[in-house]
Chain A
Amino acid sequence: MKQYIMKSNVFVIAIFSFFSYGATSQTINNCLRLAEQQYVLENYYEVIELYERVAFFGKDSLQLSDYINWADSYRQINDYEKAAINYEIAANLAGVNDSLRTYFFLKVSFCQIMQNHYQESLVTLYNLADSLPEKLEETKLLYTGITSFKLNQFDEAERAFSSYFSNAPYQQQAIGLFKKNKRLESRFNPKKAKVLSILLPGLGQIYYGDTRSGLNSFLLNGALMALSLNYIVTYSFVEGFLAVGPWFQRYYVGGFTRAKKGAVDKIEMERQRILVELLAMVKETN
Protein backbone atom coordinates (compact mmCIF):
# COMPACT_ATOMS: atom_id res chain seq x y z
CA MET A 1 0.00 0.00 0.00
CA LYS A 2 2.80 2.39 1.02
CA GLN A 3 4.64 1.57 -2.19
CA TYR A 4 1.50 2.36 -4.20
CA ILE A 5 1.11 5.83 -2.58
CA MET A 6 4.79 6.59 -3.21
CA LYS A 7 4.42 5.60 -6.84
CA SER A 8 1.35 7.80 -7.35
CA ASN A 9 3.16 10.78 -5.73
CA VAL A 10 6.09 10.37 -8.10
CA PHE A 11 3.64 10.18 -10.99
CA VAL A 12 1.87 13.44 -10.00
CA ILE A 13 5.20 15.25 -9.52
CA ALA A 14 6.35 14.05 -12.92
CA ILE A 15 3.16 15.34 -14.62
CA PHE A 16 3.39 18.74 -12.90
CA SER A 17 7.06 19.07 -13.77
CA PHE A 18 6.22 18.36 -17.37
CA PHE A 19 3.52 21.06 -17.54
CA SER A 20 5.48 23.64 -15.55
CA TYR A 21 7.47 24.47 -18.70
CA GLY A 22 4.33 26.02 -20.15
CA ALA A 23 3.20 27.79 -16.99
CA THR A 24 4.96 31.05 -16.16
CA SER A 25 4.08 33.63 -13.52
CA GLN A 26 3.05 37.24 -14.37
CA THR A 27 6.18 39.20 -15.18
CA ILE A 28 6.76 42.88 -14.44
CA ASN A 29 6.32 43.68 -18.12
CA ASN A 30 2.96 41.86 -18.13
CA CYS A 31 1.92 43.95 -15.14
CA LEU A 32 2.96 47.18 -16.84
CA ARG A 33 1.11 46.31 -20.04
CA LEU A 34 -1.98 45.37 -18.07
CA ALA A 35 -1.77 48.62 -16.10
CA GLU A 36 -1.62 50.59 -19.36
CA GLN A 37 -4.66 48.72 -20.68
CA GLN A 38 -6.58 49.33 -17.47
CA TYR A 39 -5.63 53.03 -17.60
CA VAL A 40 -7.11 53.30 -21.09
CA LEU A 41 -10.25 51.57 -19.78
CA GLU A 42 -10.31 54.10 -16.88
CA ASN A 43 -10.16 51.36 -14.22
CA TYR A 44 -8.07 53.54 -11.94
CA TYR A 45 -8.16 51.35 -8.82
CA GLU A 46 -6.78 48.41 -10.82
CA VAL A 47 -4.12 50.66 -12.36
CA ILE A 48 -2.97 51.73 -8.90
CA GLU A 49 -2.89 48.16 -7.64
CA LEU A 50 -0.82 47.02 -10.62
CA TYR A 51 1.69 49.87 -10.36
CA GLU A 52 2.00 49.28 -6.64
CA ARG A 53 2.82 45.63 -7.40
CA VAL A 54 5.43 46.67 -9.95
CA ALA A 55 6.92 49.20 -7.54
CA PHE A 56 7.19 46.49 -4.88
CA PHE A 57 8.93 43.90 -7.08
CA GLY A 58 10.94 46.08 -9.45
CA LYS A 59 10.77 49.84 -8.97
CA ASP A 60 13.47 50.40 -11.60
CA SER A 61 11.14 49.09 -14.31
CA LEU A 62 8.81 52.10 -13.89
CA GLN A 63 9.25 54.72 -16.59
CA LEU A 64 8.11 58.32 -16.87
CA SER A 65 4.87 57.34 -18.64
CA ASP A 66 4.09 54.83 -15.86
CA TYR A 67 4.48 57.47 -13.16
CA ILE A 68 2.18 59.78 -15.14
CA ASN A 69 -0.49 57.08 -15.45
CA TRP A 70 -0.07 56.23 -11.77
CA ALA A 71 -0.33 59.86 -10.69
CA ASP A 72 -3.33 60.48 -12.97
CA SER A 73 -5.06 57.43 -11.50
CA TYR A 74 -4.55 58.72 -7.98
CA ARG A 75 -5.88 62.10 -9.08
CA GLN A 76 -8.94 60.48 -10.62
CA ILE A 77 -9.82 58.81 -7.32
CA ASN A 78 -9.17 62.11 -5.47
CA ASP A 79 -6.07 60.86 -3.63
CA TYR A 80 -4.20 64.10 -4.21
CA GLU A 81 -1.44 63.37 -1.71
CA LYS A 82 -0.19 60.29 -3.59
CA ALA A 83 -0.88 61.95 -6.96
CA ALA A 84 1.43 64.83 -5.95
CA ILE A 85 4.22 62.40 -4.99
CA ASN A 86 4.04 60.62 -8.36
CA TYR A 87 3.82 63.85 -10.35
CA GLU A 88 6.93 65.03 -8.52
CA ILE A 89 8.76 61.81 -9.47
CA ALA A 90 7.57 62.31 -13.08
CA ALA A 91 8.87 65.89 -12.98
CA ASN A 92 12.26 64.71 -11.80
CA LEU A 93 12.39 61.98 -14.47
CA ALA A 94 11.59 64.56 -17.15
CA GLY A 95 14.65 66.54 -16.06
CA VAL A 96 16.04 67.26 -19.51
CA ASN A 97 12.89 68.94 -20.73
CA ASP A 98 12.05 72.18 -18.88
CA SER A 99 8.50 72.50 -20.25
CA LEU A 100 7.58 68.98 -19.28
CA ARG A 101 9.22 69.34 -15.89
CA THR A 102 7.29 72.57 -15.26
CA TYR A 103 4.09 70.93 -16.47
CA PHE A 104 4.40 68.19 -13.83
CA PHE A 105 5.36 70.61 -11.09
CA LEU A 106 2.21 72.58 -11.92
CA LYS A 107 0.31 69.33 -11.45
CA VAL A 108 2.00 68.95 -8.06
CA SER A 109 0.94 72.49 -7.19
CA PHE A 110 -2.65 71.72 -8.24
CA CYS A 111 -2.71 68.63 -6.02
CA GLN A 112 -1.39 70.68 -3.11
CA ILE A 113 -4.15 73.27 -3.62
CA MET A 114 -6.73 70.48 -3.64
CA GLN A 115 -5.36 69.31 -0.28
CA ASN A 116 -5.48 72.89 1.11
CA HIS A 117 -1.67 72.89 1.38
CA TYR A 118 -1.39 76.43 0.07
CA GLN A 119 2.01 77.22 1.57
CA GLU A 120 3.59 74.15 -0.05
CA SER A 121 1.86 74.96 -3.33
CA LEU A 122 3.32 78.47 -3.31
CA VAL A 123 6.81 77.07 -2.61
CA THR A 124 6.42 74.71 -5.61
CA LEU A 125 5.35 77.62 -7.80
CA TYR A 126 8.19 79.90 -6.66
CA ASN A 127 10.68 77.15 -7.57
CA LEU A 128 9.57 77.21 -11.23
CA ALA A 129 11.59 79.04 -13.88
CA ASP A 130 10.86 82.76 -14.40
CA SER A 131 10.18 82.60 -18.12
CA LEU A 132 7.83 79.85 -19.27
CA PRO A 133 5.85 79.04 -22.42
CA GLU A 134 2.59 81.03 -22.59
CA LYS A 135 0.18 78.28 -21.48
CA LEU A 136 2.37 77.17 -18.60
CA GLU A 137 2.89 80.78 -17.51
CA GLU A 138 -0.89 81.26 -17.46
CA THR A 139 -1.38 78.18 -15.28
CA LYS A 140 1.42 79.32 -12.98
CA LEU A 141 -0.20 82.75 -12.62
CA LEU A 142 -3.59 81.18 -11.93
CA TYR A 143 -2.26 78.88 -9.21
CA THR A 144 -0.15 81.67 -7.72
CA GLY A 145 -3.27 83.85 -7.62
CA ILE A 146 -5.35 81.17 -5.90
CA THR A 147 -2.70 80.18 -3.33
CA SER A 148 -1.82 83.79 -2.48
CA PHE A 149 -5.52 84.60 -2.13
CA LYS A 150 -6.06 81.67 0.24
CA LEU A 151 -3.00 82.71 2.25
CA ASN A 152 -4.45 86.25 2.55
CA GLN A 153 -1.57 87.67 0.49
CA PHE A 154 -3.95 89.79 -1.53
CA ASP A 155 -1.43 92.12 -3.19
CA GLU A 156 0.42 89.13 -4.63
CA ALA A 157 -2.90 87.51 -5.66
CA GLU A 158 -4.02 90.75 -7.37
CA ARG A 159 -0.74 90.96 -9.28
CA ALA A 160 -1.09 87.33 -10.43
CA PHE A 161 -4.72 87.64 -11.54
CA SER A 162 -4.13 91.01 -13.23
CA SER A 163 -1.28 89.47 -15.23
CA TYR A 164 -3.44 86.43 -16.02
CA PHE A 165 -6.23 88.52 -17.54
CA SER A 166 -4.55 90.09 -20.54
CA ASN A 167 -7.98 91.16 -21.77
CA ALA A 168 -8.66 94.72 -20.46
CA PRO A 169 -12.35 94.38 -19.39
CA TYR A 170 -11.60 91.20 -17.41
CA GLN A 171 -8.54 92.84 -15.88
CA GLN A 172 -10.66 95.79 -14.71
CA GLN A 173 -13.27 93.42 -13.34
CA ALA A 174 -10.59 91.50 -11.41
CA ILE A 175 -9.15 94.74 -9.99
CA GLY A 176 -12.71 95.73 -8.96
CA LEU A 177 -13.14 92.43 -7.12
CA PHE A 178 -9.86 92.95 -5.26
CA LYS A 179 -10.98 96.45 -4.25
CA LYS A 180 -14.18 94.91 -2.92
CA ASN A 181 -12.09 92.36 -1.05
CA LYS A 182 -10.02 95.10 0.59
CA ARG A 183 -13.19 96.78 1.87
CA LEU A 184 -14.42 93.57 3.57
CA GLU A 185 -12.26 94.02 6.70
CA SER A 186 -13.73 97.46 7.40
CA ARG A 187 -17.26 96.61 6.21
CA PHE A 188 -17.59 93.54 8.48
CA ASN A 189 -15.14 94.51 11.20
CA PRO A 190 -15.16 91.65 13.79
CA LYS A 191 -14.08 93.93 16.66
CA LYS A 192 -16.83 96.40 15.84
CA ALA A 193 -19.38 93.54 15.74
CA LYS A 194 -18.24 92.38 19.17
CA VAL A 195 -18.40 95.87 20.72
CA LEU A 196 -21.86 96.48 19.24
CA SER A 197 -23.11 93.21 20.74
CA ILE A 198 -21.62 94.14 24.12
CA LEU A 199 -23.50 97.47 24.00
CA LEU A 200 -26.78 95.92 22.83
CA PRO A 201 -27.15 92.14 22.42
CA GLY A 202 -27.84 91.24 18.78
CA LEU A 203 -26.61 94.53 17.31
CA GLY A 204 -23.31 93.00 16.17
CA GLN A 205 -25.11 90.25 14.28
CA ILE A 206 -27.40 92.78 12.59
CA TYR A 207 -24.30 94.85 11.70
CA TYR A 208 -22.82 92.06 9.57
CA GLY A 209 -26.18 91.10 8.08
CA ASP A 210 -27.49 88.21 10.20
CA THR A 211 -30.75 89.87 11.29
CA ARG A 212 -32.40 86.62 12.39
CA SER A 213 -29.60 85.75 14.79
CA GLY A 214 -29.47 89.38 15.97
CA LEU A 215 -33.16 89.44 16.88
CA ASN A 216 -32.80 85.99 18.47
CA SER A 217 -29.96 87.23 20.69
CA PHE A 218 -31.81 90.45 21.56
CA LEU A 219 -35.02 88.67 22.56
CA LEU A 220 -33.23 85.93 24.51
CA ASN A 221 -31.07 88.34 26.49
CA GLY A 222 -34.03 90.70 26.94
CA ALA A 223 -36.15 87.87 28.34
CA LEU A 224 -33.41 86.76 30.75
CA MET A 225 -32.82 90.36 31.84
CA ALA A 226 -36.57 90.81 32.46
CA LEU A 227 -36.69 87.56 34.42
CA SER A 228 -33.69 88.63 36.45
CA LEU A 229 -35.31 92.02 37.27
CA ASN A 230 -38.55 90.22 38.17
CA TYR A 231 -36.64 88.05 40.64
CA ILE A 232 -34.86 91.07 42.10
CA VAL A 233 -38.13 92.99 42.56
CA THR A 234 -40.12 89.98 43.83
CA TYR A 235 -37.48 88.37 46.04
CA SER A 236 -34.07 90.02 46.48
CA PHE A 237 -31.03 91.19 44.55
CA VAL A 238 -29.03 88.10 45.62
CA GLU A 239 -31.88 85.80 44.53
CA GLY A 240 -32.14 87.43 41.11
CA PHE A 241 -28.37 87.46 40.66
CA LEU A 242 -27.90 83.82 41.64
CA ALA A 243 -30.98 82.29 39.97
CA VAL A 244 -30.97 83.98 36.57
CA GLY A 245 -27.53 85.68 36.51
CA PRO A 246 -25.58 82.65 35.24
CA TRP A 247 -28.07 82.11 32.40
CA PHE A 248 -27.94 85.75 31.41
CA GLN A 249 -24.13 85.73 31.56
CA ARG A 250 -24.02 82.57 29.41
CA TYR A 251 -26.14 83.97 26.58
CA TYR A 252 -24.79 87.54 26.83
CA VAL A 253 -21.18 86.35 26.52
CA GLY A 254 -22.28 83.86 23.85
CA GLY A 255 -23.95 86.71 21.94
CA PHE A 256 -20.89 88.94 21.60
CA THR A 257 -18.45 86.02 21.14
CA ARG A 258 -20.58 84.70 18.32
CA ALA A 259 -20.97 88.20 16.86
CA LYS A 260 -17.18 88.43 16.46
CA LYS A 261 -16.93 84.90 15.03
CA GLY A 262 -19.90 85.56 12.75
CA ALA A 263 -18.20 88.66 11.30
CA VAL A 264 -15.00 86.66 10.69
CA ASP A 265 -17.06 83.91 8.98
CA LYS A 266 -18.88 86.51 6.91
CA ILE A 267 -15.59 87.95 5.65
CA GLU A 268 -14.37 84.43 4.85
CA MET A 269 -17.60 83.66 2.99
CA GLU A 270 -17.43 86.88 0.96
CA ARG A 271 -13.79 86.14 0.09
CA GLN A 272 -14.77 82.69 -1.04
CA ARG A 273 -17.44 84.25 -3.26
CA ILE A 274 -14.88 86.63 -4.77
CA LEU A 275 -12.51 83.73 -5.50
CA VAL A 276 -15.32 81.78 -7.15
CA GLU A 277 -16.14 84.87 -9.28
CA LEU A 278 -12.49 85.15 -10.30
CA LEU A 279 -12.44 81.47 -11.29
CA ALA A 280 -15.65 81.93 -13.27
CA MET A 281 -13.93 84.75 -15.16
CA VAL A 282 -10.94 82.47 -15.81
CA LYS A 283 -13.34 79.86 -17.18
CA GLU A 284 -14.93 82.45 -19.49
CA THR A 285 -11.56 83.45 -20.91
CA ASN A 286 -10.60 79.82 -21.66
Chain B
Amino acid sequence: MTLKQTLCTIILCLFVNKIYAQDVNELQLLSKKFSSAKKQKTDYEIARENRNEAQLIFSGLFLFYKNFLSSQDSQKCTFHPSCSEYGILAVKQFGAIKGMALTFDRLTRCNGLSPTKYKIDFERKLLLDPVSNE
Protein backbone atom coordinates (compact mmCIF):
# COMPACT_ATOMS: atom_id res chain seq x y z
CA MET B 1 0.00 0.00 0.00
CA THR B 2 1.43 3.38 -0.96
CA LEU B 3 1.82 6.28 1.45
CA LYS B 4 -1.00 8.18 -0.27
CA GLN B 5 -3.39 5.23 0.11
CA THR B 6 -2.48 4.84 3.80
CA LEU B 7 -3.04 8.56 4.41
CA CYS B 8 -6.41 8.45 2.64
CA THR B 9 -7.49 5.48 4.75
CA ILE B 10 -6.46 7.21 7.99
CA ILE B 11 -8.33 10.40 7.05
CA LEU B 12 -11.45 8.43 6.11
CA CYS B 13 -11.26 6.51 9.38
CA LEU B 14 -11.26 9.82 11.23
CA PHE B 15 -14.32 10.96 9.32
CA VAL B 16 -16.20 7.68 9.44
CA ASN B 17 -18.48 8.96 12.21
CA LYS B 18 -19.36 11.95 10.08
CA ILE B 19 -20.37 9.92 7.05
CA TYR B 20 -22.95 7.96 9.04
CA ALA B 21 -25.13 11.04 8.60
CA GLN B 22 -25.71 9.98 4.99
CA ASP B 23 -27.72 6.97 6.24
CA VAL B 24 -30.66 9.27 6.93
CA ASN B 25 -30.63 10.18 3.25
CA GLU B 26 -30.54 6.49 2.34
CA LEU B 27 -33.49 5.85 4.62
CA GLN B 28 -35.44 8.58 2.87
CA LEU B 29 -34.60 7.05 -0.50
CA LEU B 30 -35.74 3.63 0.67
CA SER B 31 -39.00 5.01 2.09
CA LYS B 32 -39.63 6.84 -1.18
CA LYS B 33 -38.88 3.73 -3.23
CA PHE B 34 -41.32 1.52 -1.32
CA SER B 35 -44.01 4.21 -1.01
CA SER B 36 -44.03 4.85 -4.75
CA ALA B 37 -44.21 1.12 -5.48
CA LYS B 38 -47.81 1.03 -4.21
CA LYS B 39 -50.38 0.12 -6.82
CA GLN B 40 -51.06 3.14 -9.01
CA LYS B 41 -54.49 3.84 -10.40
CA THR B 42 -54.50 3.51 -14.20
CA ASP B 43 -54.72 6.89 -15.83
CA TYR B 44 -55.59 6.85 -19.52
CA GLU B 45 -53.76 9.94 -20.75
CA ILE B 46 -54.70 9.34 -24.38
CA ALA B 47 -58.42 9.84 -23.66
CA ARG B 48 -57.77 13.42 -22.54
CA GLU B 49 -57.53 16.53 -24.68
CA ASN B 50 -60.23 15.98 -27.27
CA ARG B 51 -60.39 18.53 -30.06
CA ASN B 52 -63.87 17.79 -31.44
CA GLU B 53 -67.10 15.95 -30.70
CA ALA B 54 -66.05 12.79 -32.57
CA GLN B 55 -62.91 12.49 -30.48
CA LEU B 56 -64.95 13.08 -27.33
CA ILE B 57 -67.37 10.27 -28.22
CA PHE B 58 -64.57 7.83 -29.06
CA SER B 59 -62.70 8.76 -25.88
CA GLY B 60 -65.89 8.06 -23.87
CA LEU B 61 -66.31 4.69 -25.57
CA PHE B 62 -62.64 3.92 -24.94
CA LEU B 63 -62.93 4.74 -21.24
CA PHE B 64 -66.14 2.69 -20.90
CA TYR B 65 -64.48 -0.29 -22.58
CA LYS B 66 -61.29 0.00 -20.52
CA ASN B 67 -63.06 0.42 -17.16
CA PHE B 68 -66.00 -1.96 -17.47
CA LEU B 69 -65.16 -4.58 -20.11
CA SER B 70 -61.39 -4.85 -20.53
CA SER B 71 -60.92 -4.85 -16.75
CA GLN B 72 -62.89 -8.14 -16.58
CA ASP B 73 -61.40 -9.81 -19.62
CA SER B 74 -59.34 -12.98 -19.49
CA GLN B 75 -57.54 -12.35 -22.77
CA LYS B 76 -54.69 -9.96 -23.46
CA CYS B 77 -53.85 -8.06 -26.61
CA THR B 78 -50.63 -9.22 -28.30
CA PHE B 79 -49.67 -5.71 -29.35
CA HIS B 80 -48.39 -2.50 -27.83
CA PRO B 81 -50.30 -0.18 -27.92
CA SER B 82 -53.30 -2.44 -27.28
CA CYS B 83 -56.11 -2.52 -29.86
CA SER B 84 -58.32 -0.12 -27.88
CA GLU B 85 -55.45 2.34 -27.39
CA TYR B 86 -54.54 1.96 -31.06
CA GLY B 87 -58.16 2.74 -31.94
CA ILE B 88 -58.35 5.98 -29.99
CA LEU B 89 -54.90 7.05 -31.24
CA ALA B 90 -55.87 6.30 -34.85
CA VAL B 91 -59.13 8.27 -34.53
CA LYS B 92 -57.27 11.22 -33.03
CA GLN B 93 -54.56 11.11 -35.68
CA PHE B 94 -56.55 10.38 -38.84
CA GLY B 95 -60.16 11.24 -37.99
CA ALA B 96 -63.17 8.99 -37.30
CA ILE B 97 -63.52 7.19 -40.64
CA LYS B 98 -59.90 6.37 -41.41
CA GLY B 99 -59.21 5.80 -37.71
CA MET B 100 -62.02 3.21 -37.53
CA ALA B 101 -60.78 1.54 -40.72
CA LEU B 102 -57.27 1.27 -39.26
CA THR B 103 -58.72 -0.09 -36.00
CA PHE B 104 -60.69 -2.82 -37.82
CA ASP B 105 -57.54 -3.70 -39.73
CA ARG B 106 -55.64 -3.97 -36.45
CA LEU B 107 -58.37 -6.17 -34.91
CA THR B 108 -58.03 -8.64 -37.77
CA ARG B 109 -54.27 -8.79 -37.15
CA CYS B 110 -54.55 -9.23 -33.37
CA ASN B 111 -54.14 -13.00 -33.25
CA GLY B 112 -50.43 -13.58 -32.66
CA LEU B 113 -50.11 -15.65 -35.84
CA SER B 114 -47.44 -13.51 -37.50
CA PRO B 115 -45.03 -12.47 -34.77
CA THR B 116 -42.08 -12.27 -37.18
CA LYS B 117 -43.66 -9.33 -39.00
CA TYR B 118 -43.36 -7.01 -35.99
CA LYS B 119 -40.64 -5.66 -33.76
CA ILE B 120 -40.74 -6.88 -30.18
CA ASP B 121 -41.00 -4.72 -27.06
CA PHE B 122 -38.91 -6.91 -24.75
CA GLU B 123 -39.81 -4.96 -21.63
CA ARG B 124 -43.54 -5.47 -22.09
CA LYS B 125 -43.16 -8.79 -23.93
CA LEU B 126 -45.52 -7.55 -26.65
CA LEU B 127 -45.34 -6.99 -30.39
CA LEU B 128 -44.85 -3.38 -31.44
CA ASP B 129 -47.43 -1.95 -33.81
CA PRO B 130 -47.76 1.83 -33.50
CA VAL B 131 -50.30 3.87 -35.45
CA SER B 132 -48.92 4.72 -38.88
CA ASN B 133 -50.21 5.68 -42.30
CA GLU B 134 -48.49 2.80 -44.13
Contacts and interface: CB of A to CB of B under 8 A. Distances in A.
Interface string B15-40: 01001100110111111011101110
B26 A216 contact: no
Contacts of B46: none
Contacts of A265: 39
Interface string A97-124: 1011001000000100110000000000
Given A139-B23, A254-B74, A258-B72, A100 B34 contact: no
Given A64-B12, A255-B72, A103 B19 contact: yes
A146 B4 contact: no
Given A100-B12, A114-B33, A283-B31, A64 B19 contact: no
Contact of B9 (A64, A255, A273, A276): A64
B9 A113 contact: no
A64 B26 contact: no
Contacts of B27: 142, 279, 282-283, 286
B71 A250 contact: no
Contacts of B71: 213, 216, 258
A154 interface: no
Contact of B38 (A65, A94, A220, A273): A273
A53 to B, nearest CB: 20
Main secondary structure of the interface of A (DSSP, over half): helix
Interface residues of A, number: 40
B25 to A, nearest CB: 10
Interface string A41-63: 00000000000000000000001
A253 interface: yes
B21 to A, nearest CB: 10
Residue in A99, A139, A276 whose Cβ sees the most chain B Cβ within 10 Å: A276
Contacts of A258: 71-72, 74
A76 B96 CA distance: 48
Contacts of A257: 74
A114 B72 contact: no
Given A99-B16, A269-B38, A272-B38, A254 B5 contact: no
22 contacts: A63-B4, A64-B8, A94-B12, A96-B1, A97-B9, A99-B13, A99-B16, A113-B33, A114-B30, A146-B30, A216-B72, A220-B72, A250-B73, A253-B74, A254-B72, A257-B74, A269-B38, A276-B31, A276-B35, A282-B27, A283-B27, A286-B27
A217 B72 CA distance: 6
Given A100-B13, A216-B68, A251-B72, 15 more contacts: A63-B4, A65-B8, A100-B12, A113-B33, A139-B23, A213-B72, A216-B72, A217-B72, A220-B72, A250-B74, A253-B74, A254-B72, A254-B75, A258-B72, A279-B27
B68 A286 contact: no
B26 A110 contact: yes
Contacts of A250: 73-75
A7 interface: no
